[in-house]
Amino acid sequence: MNLFTEIRESIIISLNSIRANKARSFLATLGIVIGIMTVTTLQTAIEGINRAFEKSIAAVGADVLYIQKFEWFGKDDWEVYRNRRDIKWQEYEYVERNMNNAESICPTVSTSALVTYQDFTSENVPVFGTTEEYQRTLGMDVADGRFFTKRESDGGWAVCVIGYDIKESFFQGIDPLGKVIQVNGHNFKIIGMYKKMGSMLGLFSLDNRIIIPINKFFKIFGTRRSLTINVKALSVDALEDTKEEVKAVMKRARHIPVGGKEDFGINQQEAFKQTYESLTGLIKTIGTAITLLSLIVGSIGIANIMFVSVKERTKEIGIRKAIGAKRSTILLQFLIEAVTICVVGGLIGLIIAFPISLVINAVLLPTAMPLWVVIIALVISAFAGIIAGFFPALSASKLDPVDALRYE
């Protein structure tokens, strides 16, 4: 008897038997349903979070170092950070002058301010001061109009570039270019606009900001704020070299001896990634544990029901053996039955998980159930079926035909 006919026949038998015991089969496979549901929902959600993360992390350039007062994800005690000095304009100038391994460097400083245009006002709008090198360093291109020039920057001209949200809330249906807005009462002429960029990990918007020349910023808001020095490396590969140089240059600027510990933070996208990955890693571990547990419980349920099924069908096994079924045929028949029950359970799990993924997509974050998750889920179900069905199937295949035929 060839394997193909054998498998086909076994699938027909098992579907018949599932149909004959609908409620029992469903209850038996519930563990698998829950397991597959958890694993697919979780994977789908993680996939969504990953996509959102990749999208927002792009705003933090992979080849840019951010020299700041603090590290983004400091691991030391607060004591270590408490007495840190602000980063000063002079330090920026020193770094700017002395760095060799850098594509470009720009300082940024920020605050929030009251913004007015005619009758519209908005409080707490983030305002950034920077130089003309901002564009090249952080790679954010102006969509409409232009960025300010070195002359405008050095001279502290009253010009600004606005984010997408500012344009939307103040200038509906009007072209903002050339219009004048007030920032804390000071007039600024709009010379450029950004396109929509979204938010950083859903936390803060990249579109709600006004960018002005740093010298104008100092005039309005003072010079007491700590700066960020943004250093773009020559390439992503050269990032580590650049980082070493930045560290050395900053230490010299602050007169810290070569062996001394730096009192500033050098941040980079990598730090975000590491933190993010340890977080999703935790979610994955917990999810995998839940999945594994429900699959184990599910498999035990299937194994149990398969033993019952073998017992109930002892006579049938006897008949099949009498008319020529080999051991392997009987083994395969019950194995396939267990696999079929599990795969059906897996499919039910997927059918339940799919609308959940749509809800997540609509309410929480953009996501989609990836095909590979569906395939993996079904493979896992089949595998659980093989594990669960093996011993019951083996016991069925070993039945003595004479005893089995006599069984009532």
User: Token pair for residue 323?
Assistant: 């008319």
- Minimum CB separation of residue 395 from another protein in Å reads 14
- Minimum CB separation of residue 46 from another protein in Å reads 44
Nearer to another protein, 9 or 263 (CB): 9
Quick one: which of 107, 83, 98 has its CA closest to 263?
A: 83
CA atoms 363, 365, 370, 374: torsion sign: negative
- Minimum CB separation of residue 41 from another protein in Å reads 36
**Beta-sheet strands, E only, within 227-283:** 228-232, 265-267
- Minimum CB separation of residue 332 from another protein in Å reads 12
CA distance 186 to 213: 13
**Beta-sheet strands, E only, within 69-158:** 104-117, 120-130, 144-145
Nearer to another protein, 218 or 407 (CB): 407
- Minimum CB separation of residue 406 from another protein in Å reads 9
Residue with tokens 């770094």: 95
Quick one: which of 220, 392, 228 has its CA closest to 309?
A: 392
Cβ contacts of residue 31 below 8 Å, gap of 6+? 294, 295, 297, 298, 299, 300, 301, 302, 345
| Run of H or E residues at 187 | strand 186-193
- Minimum CB separation of residue 396 from another protein in Å reads 13
> What does the binding site for another protein look like in residue numbers (CB under 8 A)?
1-2, 5, 9, 16-17, 20, 315-316, 318-329, 401-402, 405
Nearer to another protein, 288 or 328 (CB): 328
Cβ contacts of residue 73 below 8 Å, gap of 6+? 271, 274, 275
Nearer to another protein, 36 or 344 (CB): 344
Nearer to another protein, 18 or 388 (CB): 18
Nearer to another protein, 106 or 330 (CB): 330
Nearer to another protein, 178 or 324 (CB): 324
DSSP state of 160: E
Quick one: which of 279, 274, 138 has its CA closest to 206?
A: 138
- Minimum CB separation of residue 401 from another protein in Å reads 5
